[in-house]
Structure 1
């Protein structure tokens, strides 16, 4: 549940900033992961897997093109990969294996997380409060977007 205690002290422009979280993928903390509840895909960008030293040979073939990531263009992913994604702190965290399409786009983000991940984690985003809540083994896990990081990504 979201309530007034979740509201930020000051929101200069509600709805202007993206919801950006910093989960851990394969033991690497990625600080610029966009939460997009309107996306039907989870996308990990090629530069991110290269920076994480994940060999492209681990990608499985994916021939289905997707649309809407870059306005007016369709793209065929390099492949897809299923890897562990962890949200939360040491004492309260949640890990699930998530399938990502790998795309070779230049972007400010490491990845875009869409409805498939939100459903798997049973996570609920709130774009006004810039937070996500999901069930964890020790209660609700609450994750806040870093406003400064969100602003930098948007810029």
Structure 2
């Protein structure tokens, strides 16, 4: 609970000129993430005040110059990132995350769970901060006072649209896998019902034992063509 002794307040000066649909946009910010290999400023980091873990996507890990060998084992399993599916991270890593600029910033080490998923975001994170989702801003105490970071409504809308498209992909893929399993099971069941010594064509049709031959043209004595019909059929 570091920095908790520093008060964080909001005033009329924080109110943006335009607030479309207050509270209806995700808080997407652009922190700098630091690794021994590389330092990158990301433009799509979703700040989720209700999240219990921090998530880093594999593509973002690659951008930071990290490899699987740089991760530590993790036993975390979580839900909600992909609707109706649980997810097991491939590992976890501790990274320094910086908000602010060269004149006023604060850096904080954060543990991230790394997942092998696609996302509209570079990372999902929670911090010891005070977010304001109507203003689309975040404040956090820093060495020189409060550090205020402002989001962007257009970027939030773009991320929401991209995220909606990606969320459908794993669901559709899972539905296809389930359908393939059903079709395979149905084929295996059908094959089991056909005796092994008979081909499918032979087993598909067998004449009844109670049959008789009927001339195709009974009025023509010279007709030698017959059809085989069941004896129980109506004479018509």
* Higher RCO, Cα 8 Å, sep 6+: 1
Instruction: Indicate which of 135, 138, 141 corresponds to 2:144.
Output: 138
Distance in 2, Cα, partners of 1:16 & 1:64: 30
Distance in 1, Cα, partners of 2:82 & 2:158: 19
Structure 2: tracts of 5 or more residues without a match: 1-8, 162-236
The superposition leaves residues 88-134 of structure 1 with CA deviations (integer Å, 9 ceiling, x where unpaired) of: 010100011110000111110000012xxx23xxx111111111101
* Structure 2 residue 79 is matched with structure 1 residue 71: no
Distance in 2, Cα, partners of 1:38 & 1:70: 16
Instruction: Indicate which of 19, 30, 45 corresponds to 1:11.
Output: 19
Residue 71 of structure 2 corresponds to which residue in structure 1? 59
Higher strand residue share: 1
Higher helix residue share: 2
Q: Alpha carbon RMSD of aligned pairs, Å?
A: 1.0
Which consecutive aligned stretches of 4+ in structure 1 deviate over 4 angstroms post-superposition?
A: none
Q: TM-score, normalised by structure 1?
A: 0.92
Distance in 2, Cα, partners of 1:12 & 1:66: 32
Q: TM-score, normalised by structure 2?
A: 0.61
SS of aligned partner of 1:68:
strand
